Structure formats: structure tokens, C-alpha cells
């Protein structure tokens, strides 16, 4: 088990048992010892649709109950809905989800009563877990049960999203909802239909399908394009497994970049400051009336950046990641009502912001996206890429300018280098290539930016080819 960019992750077979009980107990002990909760306080549990999630959730329920907390079962709700309900009740929470990673993996996201945990909290939970595993007594992984609060959590989230836009704000739009196995699938249909959109549910699946909104697979894009043409859609909306990362495609089925969704959401709220990782589009700095602050990849770092901005007296602070998940650090007034700060990734706010933009301007999303004139940005990943190989590659690239230049020779000549998170290199032709190991899975990610789509595609393909060549050379000696 390992903490990554967003929560604890590992193989389902490893988490489903004593490991789940260990980390749930460790979280409870940390909350109790730090005075953030008292014995008998409520704690929430949610989960995604992975086959392993119900069992892991039940194990966590048993462990939390034995630790002295009262567990409320919120079942299969989006992570932002669980987090919002936790803030409403002043209760800590656990979300059993592997987000977008393969179905044979799973994880746990942890929330304090005041919001998502920090890296400091992760370290403290890890210390408690290590102490439990080092103890003489075996970890009790007996499953438990909990009171059902799924309707309350859903109702609060629906009410939040039903107040963002004026009545019938999406009338005239025909929107597909790619339902697959995301826990946001039914709520998206309800919210969009409530604003008057003609909603077409698509691709619902009983089996878990990992959808990475930051690197949408070619097969998924083919599906979106076919549905867009078949149903004459204005857009298609979806999310990842736990519903905190949005996917929005234009009228052709082509997904919009997640950082563009975040930018549109920031403008929709009237934010003055947006905090975003280094992997987000470099063209964000050129957008008017919005100050951009860069961080490492991962919601804890974005939240830390937002909190720092608020401490400095900034008002109107949002955050978003390259995957489109949008966070709010301050309250906003939207449609005459208070939109409460929710400092965790949310897929609904950016989706509604983008669709309302299309409805107001009565123009295709592809045309509206082009107006922002951002550099073309692409990303992809190599799956099942050993962690030790990723570490060896990054050591090689960081060990000297000659190594970096030799590695990048098929792509171009390096000009400037950023080492905030992975290596982000601007080449002499002003294109960008960025190599970064995944923080929570055996994957190597590559990001590319350029003036044209063809150039960005070339940089991305060559970047991935360079990674594969390094791996092959390392394996064959």
C-alpha cells in the first residue's frame, strides 16, 4: 500500500483484508489522538463500483466501529458528494475508490472533518499503520455494518448543483452522459435534465471500466465520436470512477482538455486566483484577470496552495488539475446563492460551467474552446511500467545536461527545465515535453505541448518512444 497523488492505492487483493482494517484503524486513531474527533463521533463511508469496493468498505466499517466511531454508510456516491456531506456534518470520511486506475486495483481517500487530508496527515496515518502492523496481535478484519445515509448525501449534493444556474439554463442543448461505471452517472442525468437539457444516457456498464479523464484512451474517444454523430449531440459529459474528475467532449466527440475545463470553471465563478499543477497548460498564464499559482501534481498540493493564497488575503480562490477536477477554497455567489467552498476535486462544477457557456453563446463547444487559444496539449501514459524503471529513468535524466540532451535528441534541443514534479522541458522551438512517473500506479506519464496538433502529437509520440527505448535498453543491457 502506498499514498500517491490522491489517497492510498494498491492491488485490490492486497487491500481487501487486514490492510483495509489497518489503515481505517490508523486513521481513526490519528483523528482521536489529535483531537479532531471524539469517541462516538460520526464518520462517513462511500465507495465506487469496483467489484472489490463493497468488501473493503465493510471491512473499514468494522474497523472504524471497533475504534469507537459511529459509521454512516453513504454507499456509491461521488467523492465530492461525500466530502460535502462530511463538511455539512463536521464528520470525517473515507472513500473506497481507485479512481481511474485499472479494475484490479483500489484505494482509500481520507477526509478530516474539515476536508481532505494533507501530506502531513498521510505521514501520521502511515506511522499509526506501521505501529499496528508491528504489534503482536493480528489485525481484526471482521466486516461491519452501518446506518444508510446515501439519500442524505445525494440530496445535499443535488441541491448544491441545482442552484448553480438559472432555471432551464441548458434548454436547447442535447447532451450525452457516458455513464460507464462512474458513481456520478445517475446524478449527472438528473442535474442536467433539471436544467432543461435533452439528456441521452450512453454506455452504462455493470462491469468496472477505468476512465482516465487526463489521458482519454483512443477506444473511448472512438465511442464518444460515434455517439456524438449518431445522436447529433452538442456535448458528452462523464467522469472517472469516483466522480471527481470530469470528462466533457465537444459536438464532435473530441474531449476538451481538463485544464481548459478548470479555466472555464474559474472564469464562471469569477475567481481571481487559480492554483494548478505544473502539468496544466502553459497558456493559462496568458488568460486575463486570473492569477495562476503552480504546484506539484496532486490535490493535497493544490489544496495547500489554495490555503496559502487565502492566508495571504486573496478572495475568490479556486484550484484545478490537468484532469479537470475543480476545487473551491472560498465561497462564491452563483445565480444569487452562496456556492459553498468545497476544497476537493469536483466534476460537476466544470461540466456545468462549460455547458452553460455553450448555451449562453449558442455556439459549438469546439469553437468556444478555440477562442482561448491555448497551446495544443496532449498526454498519455505507459501502463504496467515498473516503478524501479521509472525511478531509474528520472535519475538518469536528472544526472546531467548531457544525459538529458542525448535522451531528447529525437525530439529536439532542451532550452529550460522545470523540476517541480517530474521533468518539464521547454525545447528551443518552444514546444514542451514533460516526463513524470505516476504517484499511485506503475505508470509513466508523458505530456506534450506545441502550437499545432500535429506538432504536439509528434512530441508526445516521440516522448513515449524515448521512454520505451530506455526501458528496452535497461532490460537487455
Instruction: Identify the CA nearest to 352 among candidates 199, 203, 248.
Output: 248
Give Cβ neighbours of residue 150 (< 8 Å, ≥ 6 apart): 73, 74, 75, 76, 77
Q: Which of the listed residues 322, 352, 371 is the one where a domain comes to its end? A: 371
Whole-structure pTM value: 0.88
Q: Which of the listed residues 328, 344, 371 is the one where a domain comes to its end? A: 371
Q: Is residue 168 part of a domain?
A: no
Q: Is residue 159 part of a domain?
A: no
* Whether residue 232 sits in one domain with residue 121: no
Q: What angle do CA 391, 395, 399 make, to 5 degrees?
A: 175
Q: Is residue 143 part of a domain?
A: yes
Q: How many domains does the chain have?
A: 3
Q: What's the CA gap between 190 and 464, in Å, rounded?
A: 40
Q: Is residue 157 part of a domain?
A: no
pLDDT digits (tens), the chain, 477 positions = 777 667 888 899 999 999 999 999 999 999 999 999 999 999 999 999 999 999 999 999 999 999 999 999 999 999 999 999 999 999 999 999 998 888 899 999 999 999 999 989 999 999 999 999 998 888 999 999 999 999 999 999 999 999 999 999 999 999 999 999 999 999 999 999 999 999 999 999 999 999 988 888 899 999 999 999 999 999 999 999 999 999 999 999 999 999 999 999 999 999 999 999 998 998 998 898 999 999 998 889 999 999 999 999 999 999 999 899 999 999 999 999 999 999 999 999 999 999 999 999 999 999 999 999 999 988 888 988 988 999 999 999 999 899 999 999 999 999 999 888 999 999 999 999 999 987 667 889 999 999 999 999 999 999 999 999 999 988 886
Q: Is residue 231 part of a domain?
A: yes
* Whether residue 361 sits in one domain with residue 427: no
Just list the catalytic residues.
99
**CATH number, domain containing residue 326:** 3.40.120.10
Q: What's the CA gap between 291 and 238, in Å, rounded?
A: 28
Residue-wise DSSP of 9-59: EEEHHHIIIIIHHHHHHHHHHHHHHTTSS-TT-EEEEEE-S-TTHHHHHHH
Q: Please tell me the predicted confidence (pLDDT) of residue 3.
A: 77
Q: What's the CA gap between 108 and 110, in Å, rounded?
A: 6
Q: Is residue 14 part of a domain?
A: yes
**CATH number, domain containing residue 403:** 3.30.310.50
Strand-pair partners of 328: 318
* Whether residue 192 sits in one domain with residue 87: no
Range of the domain at 261: 174-371
Q: Which of the listed residues 371, 387, 404 is the one where a domain comes to its end? A: 371
* Whether residue 316 sits in one domain with residue 382: no
* Whether residue 286 sits in one domain with residue 229: yes
Amino acid at each position: 500500500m502506498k499514498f500517491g497523488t490522491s489517497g492510498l492505492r494498491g492491488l485490490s487483493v492486497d487491500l481487501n483484508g487486514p490492510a483495509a482494517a489497518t489503515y481505517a484503524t490508523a486513521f481513526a486513531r490519528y483523528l482521536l489522538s489529535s483531537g479532531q474527533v471524539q469517541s462516538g463521533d460520526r464518520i462517513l463511508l462511500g465507495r465506487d463500483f469496483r467489484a472489490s469496493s463493497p468488501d473493503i468498505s465493510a471491512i473499514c466499517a468494522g474497523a472504524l466501529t471497533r475504534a469507537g466511531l459511529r459509521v454512516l454508510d453513504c454507499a456509491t456516491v461521488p467523492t465530492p458528494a461525500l466530502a460535502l456531506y462530511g463538511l455539512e456534518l463536521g464528520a470525517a470520511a473515507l472513500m473506497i475508490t481507485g479512481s481511474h486506475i485499472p479494475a484490479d486495483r483500489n484505494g482509500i481517500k481520507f477526509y478530516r472533518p474539515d476536508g481532505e487530508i494533507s501530506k502531513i496527515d498521510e505521514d501520521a496515518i502511515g506511522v499509526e499503520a506501521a505501529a499496528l502492523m508491528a504489534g503482536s496481535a493480528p489485525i481484526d478484519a471482521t466486516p461491519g455494518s452501518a446506518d444508510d445515509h446515501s439519500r442524505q448525501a445525494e440530496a445535499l449534493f443535488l441541491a448544491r448543483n441545482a442552484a448553480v444556474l438559472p432555471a432551464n439554463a441548458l434548454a436547447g442543448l442535447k447532451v450525452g452522459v457516458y455513464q460507464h461505471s462512474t458513481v456520478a452517472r445517475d446524478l449527472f442525468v438528473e442535474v442536467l435534465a433539471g436544467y432543461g437539457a435533452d439528456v441521452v444516457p450512453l454506455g452504462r456498464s455493470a462491469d468496472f471500466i477505468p476512465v482516465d479523464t487526463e489521458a482519454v484512451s483512443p477506444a473511448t474517444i472512438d465511442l464518444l465520436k460515434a455517439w456524438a454523430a449518431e445522436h447529433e449531440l452538442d456535448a458528452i459529459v462523464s467522469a472517472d470512477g469516483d466522480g471527481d474528475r470530469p470528462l466533457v467532449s465537444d459536438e464532435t466527440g473530441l474531449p476538451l482538455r481538463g485544464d481548459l475545463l478548470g479555466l472555464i470553471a474559474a472564469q464562471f465563478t469569477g475567481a481571481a486566483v487559480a492554483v494548478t499543477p505544473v502539468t496544466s497548460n502553459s497558456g493559462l498564464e496568458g488568460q486575463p484577470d486570473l492569477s495562476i499559482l503552480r504546484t506539484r501534481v496532486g490535490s493535497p498540493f493544490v489544496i495547500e496552495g489554495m490555503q496559502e493564497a487565502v492566508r495571504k488575503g486573496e478572495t475568490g480562490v479556486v484550484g484545478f488539475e490537468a484532469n479537470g477536477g475543480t476545487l473551491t477554497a472560498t465561497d462564491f455567489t452563483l445565480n444569487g446563492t452562496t456556492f459553498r467552498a468545497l476544497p476537493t476535486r469536483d466534476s460537476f462544477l466544470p461540466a456545468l460551467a462549460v455547458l452553460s457557456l455553450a448555451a449562453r453563446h449558442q455556439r459549438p463547444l469546439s469553437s468556444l474552446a478555440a477562442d482561448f487559444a491555448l497551446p495544443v496539449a496532449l498526454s498519455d501514459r505507459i501502463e504496467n511500467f515498473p516503478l524501479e524503471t521509472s525511478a531509474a529513468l528520472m535519475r538518469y535524466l536528472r544526472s546531467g545536461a548531457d544525459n538529458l540532451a542525448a535522451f531528447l535528441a529525437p525530439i529536439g534541443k532542451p532550452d529550460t527545465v522545470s523540476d517541480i514534479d517530474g521533468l518539464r522541458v521547454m525545447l528551443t522551438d518552444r514546444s514542451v515535453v514533460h516526463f513524470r512517473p505516476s504517484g499511485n500506479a506503475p505508470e509513466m506519464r508523458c505530456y506534450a505541448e506545441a502550437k499545432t496538433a500535429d506538432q504536439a502529437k509528434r512530441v508526445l509520440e516521440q516522448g513515449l518512444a524515448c521512454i520505451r527505448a530506455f526501458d528496452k535498453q535497461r532490460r537487455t543491457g
